[in-house]
């Protein structure tokens, strides 16, 4: 049994701050009573600020995958064509889910090292004169690669093609960490999850919904029961839920929203940018390669690092866990064994980052991965430069 705190530096689930643990640690209340209505009112209203929208945010007791499914089944019909962009593993999983639901996803393929190519989406939509494509689905921050995409540019691409497709965006690992504006960027459905930037345990997921998406839900044909927005929104209007909500996680959500508001979203985003920059400085000093090949698309919530050929990232991660009690993210899908991922999101500060980077620098050495020393020192320079 290790002494001291475990370092949970995977890009979600993230460290849950004591304030949120204390908020969750309460007797479960009657979800049809007056105390619950105050809680529901606070989280339904407060979530809007986090998504930067004035429209409704639906909260499901589910992992993020549930909110992916909800976005699709509320708005689309069997056989509908959907354009998706292959940013990495999570985009691929969402594509697979769309296929299993009976949709016809068209995947714009890419090499898992760059952001969404808005130009490719515009070209694809421009060819679709009959408007058979019903939605464009993209991942804002691709957690398997550490690449963040420009969602406003995707909106502009859809508009430039004069196409009516809905825009759906997965923000599970960016919400509350990287600037994201549901309303200003004209997104129709935003998918969120509790266990990353929102600093909560897993178990809640979200759909922020535009008026256009609500209209689409009136004529959509896919079977939709548990995920039905209309039942949810009808009950939410009375600060109620149509089935038993995850009450104690909602206590935590109320606290998380308060914490993000106290710090100020702009400061939260700047903190993540700064920690990401310090992490990349360390990676560069070690002589290793960041997986993201476009500096304008670096993720501020995690960094995926390529190991030199012939070195197994999972052996390095196992050594780091064993020796320093630190969990780092693994390579997912085709990146298995080739990369490790450093999560620097959520409830996090300078010294937690330094502990993390020291663990990586020592772990690389112990695992026999060729690297230069001095990464930790470079990161300290970045953190003390401002």
Ligand X SMILES: *Cc1c(COP(=O)(O)O)cnc(C)c1O
Q: Note the residues at the interface with ligand X (CB under 6 A).
A: 12, 63-65, 90, 139, 143, 170, 172-173, 193, 202
- To ligand X, the closest distance from the beta carbon of 270 in angstroms equals 21
Q: How far is the CB of 72 from ligand X (least distance, A)?
A: 13
Measured from the CB of residue 372, what is the shortest distance to ligand X in angstroms?
31
Q: What is the distance, to the nearest Å, from the Cα of residue 71 to the centroid of all Cα atoms in its chain?
A: 15
Q: How far is the CB of 204 from ligand X (least distance, A)?
A: 9
Integer Cα distance of 151 and 141 in angstroms: 10
Query: Rounded to whole angstroms, how far apart are CA atoms 362 and 358?
Result: 6
Nearer to ligand X, 56 or 203 (CB): 203
User: 304 forms bridges with which residues in the sheet?
Assistant: 341
**Residue with nearest beta carbon to ligand X:** 64
**Angstrom distance (rounded) from CA 86 to CA 96:** 11
Closer Cβ to ligand X, 268 or 319, answer by number = 268
CA atoms 116, 118, 123, 129: torsion sign: positive
Closest approach, Cβ 194 to ligand X, in A, equals: 8
DSSP SS3 for 140: coil
Select 148 or 313, whichever has its Cβ closest to ligand X.
148
For residue 346, the minimal CB distance to ligand X (Å) is: 12
Question: Least distance (Å) from ligand X to the CB of residue 195?
Answer: 6
Specify the residue, 202 or 355, whose C-beta has the smaller distance to ligand X. 202
Residue keyed to tokens 């430069």: 385
C-alpha 275/C-alpha 295 separation (Å) is: 15
Q: What are phi and psi of 349, to 5 degrees?
A: -145, 180
For the bound state, the minimum distance from the C-beta of residue 367 to ligand X, rounded and expressed in Å, comes to: 26
Q: Which C-beta is closer to ligand X: that of 339 or that of 376? A: 339
Nearer to ligand X by Cβ, of 56 and 193: the residue is: 193
- The Cα-based distances of 87 to 81, 109, 136, 165, 181 in angstroms read 19, 8, 13, 20, 20
300 touches 352 (CB < 8 A):
no
Taking CA 85 as the corner, what is the angle to CA 215 and CA 196, rounded to the nearest 5 degrees?
80
CA distance 134 to 164: 7
SS3 content of the chain, % helix, strand, coil (to 5): 45, 15, 40
Residue closer to ligand X, measured from CB, 140 or 317: 140
Q: Which is nearer to ligand X, 333 or 370 (CB)?
A: 333
């Amino acid at each position: 049994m290790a002494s001291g705190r475990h370092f949970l530096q995977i890009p979600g689930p993230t460290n849950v701050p004591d304030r949120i643990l204390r908020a969750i640690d309460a007797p479960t209340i009657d979800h049809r009573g007056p105390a619950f209505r105050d809680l529901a009112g606070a989280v339904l209203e407060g979530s809007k600020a986090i998504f930067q929208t004035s429209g409704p945010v639906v909260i499901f007791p589910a992992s993020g995958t549930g909110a992916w499914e909800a976005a699709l089944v509320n708005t689309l019909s069997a056989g509908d064509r959907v354009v998706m962009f292959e940013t990495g593993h999570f985009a691929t999983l969402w594509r697979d889910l769309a296929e299993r639901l009976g949709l016809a996803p068209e995947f714009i393929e890419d090499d898992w090292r760059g952001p969404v190519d808005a130009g490719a989406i515009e070209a694809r939509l421009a060819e679709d004169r009959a408007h058979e494509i019903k939605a464009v689905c993209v991942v804002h921050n691709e957690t398997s690669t550490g690449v963040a995409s420009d969602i406003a540019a995707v909106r502009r691409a859809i508009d430039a093609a004069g196409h009516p497709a809905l825009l759906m965006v997965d923000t599970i690992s960016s919400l509350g960490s990287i600037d994201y504006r549901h309303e200003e960027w004209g997104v129709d459905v935003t998918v969120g999850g509790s266990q990353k930037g929102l600093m909560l345990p897993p178990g809640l997921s979200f759909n922020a919904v535009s008026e256009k998406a609500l209209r689409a839900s009136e004529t959509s044909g896919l079977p939709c029961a548990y995920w039905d927005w209309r039942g949810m929104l009808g009950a939410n209007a009375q600060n109620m839920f149509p089935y038993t909500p995850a009450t104690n996680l909602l206590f935590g959500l109320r606290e998380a929203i308060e914490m993000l508001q106290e710090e100020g979203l702009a400061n939260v985003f700047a903190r993540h940018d700064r920690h990401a920059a310090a992490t990349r400085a360390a990676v560069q000093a070690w002589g290793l390669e960041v997986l993201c090949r476009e500096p304008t698309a670096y993720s501020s919530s995690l960094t995926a690092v390529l190991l030199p050929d012939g070195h197994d990232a999972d052996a390095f991660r196992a050594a780091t866990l064993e020796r320093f009690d630190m969990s780092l993210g693994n390579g997912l899908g085709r990146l298995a064994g080739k990369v490790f991922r450093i999560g620097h999101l959520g409830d996090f500060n300078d010294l937690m980052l330094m502990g993390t980077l020291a663990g990586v620098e020592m772990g690389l050495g112990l695992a026999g991965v060729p690297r230069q020393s001095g990464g930790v020192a470079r990161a300290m320079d970045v953190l003390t430069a401002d």
